[in-house]
Amino acid sequence: MTQPVSIIMIEDDEGHARLIERNIRRSGVNNEIISFANGTDAMKHLFGPDGSGLVQKGNALLILLDLNLPDMTGIDILKQIKENKYLKASPVVVLTTTDDSQEIKRCYELGCNVYITKPVNYENFANAIRQLGLFFSVIQVPPAAS
């Protein structure tokens, strides 16, 4: 990666967050991972205090998003990210327990780049996250548009 990419992880379940982080690290990805346990904090970080997203200008971000959050739905966050001119180019990976086809379709329609269902089987889970980590290590992430 030409530029340090920050991974923003929005995941309310601490356990899941820990497992995801651990498996990403195991795949050899050493980028900074910033975790948020609720949507409000994540939104504040992504869009800044003024809500414009200007704070992220020039930063390369990769967003890991859970759909089931205590304070808002991940879909709302996804929608706002993809409607924001600074953030819309940042890849969003939806990583959630929901495997409802309607929901999946909806996310892709809103501009989600990858949709992964968390497998309960840990081997599959770990495998999926590690592959995602490998994927992270090769993809090019554009900096937030200016």
Partner 1 sequence: MIADAQRRRTFWQILLFAAGLLVLTVISAGSVYLVNKARDDSKWVVHTIEAENQINALLLEIRRAESAARGYLLTQAADFQGDHDKAVAAIIPALDKLTRLTGDNPAQRENIEKLSAAIETRLGQFAQEMDFVRRGEPEKAAALVREVASTDATAVIAKVATVMIQEEERLFRLRTVNSDRSQTLAASMTGIGSGLVVLLALISIWLVRRSARARDDAEARLRDANVNLEAVVDERTADLREANNEIQRFAYIVSHDLRSPLVNIMGFTSELEELGGDIFRRIGGLTHVPADGPPPSTGEIALEGPDKQLSADFSEALSFIKSSIAKMDRLISAILNLTREGRRAFQPEKIDTRELIEAIVSTLAHQAAEAQAEIHVAPLPDLVSDRLALEQIFSNLIDNAVKYLKPGVPGEIRIRGRTKLGYAIFEISDNGRGIDPKDHQRIFDLFRRAGTQDKPGQGIGLAHVRALVRRLGGTMSVSSELNTGSTFTITLPITWNASNRNADQ
Interface ranges with partner 1 (CB under 8 A)? 13, 15-16, 19, 22, 68, 97-98, 100, 118-123, 125-126
Q: Which is nearer to partner 1, 90 or 96 (CB)?
A: 96
Q: Report the residue number, 113 or 127, with the smaller CB distance to partner 1.
A: 127
Which of helix, strand or coil describes residue 77?
helix
* Number of H-type helices and E-type strands within the chain: 5, 5
Please state the closest distance from residue 124 (CB atom) to partner 1, in A. Answer: 10
Contacts 24+ apart (CB under 8 A), 40-44: 40/71, 40/72, 42/8, 42/10, 42/77, 43/72, 43/77, 43/80
Residue among 12 and 82 whose Cβ is closer to partner 1: 12
Minimum CB distance to partner 1, residue 102 (Å): 9
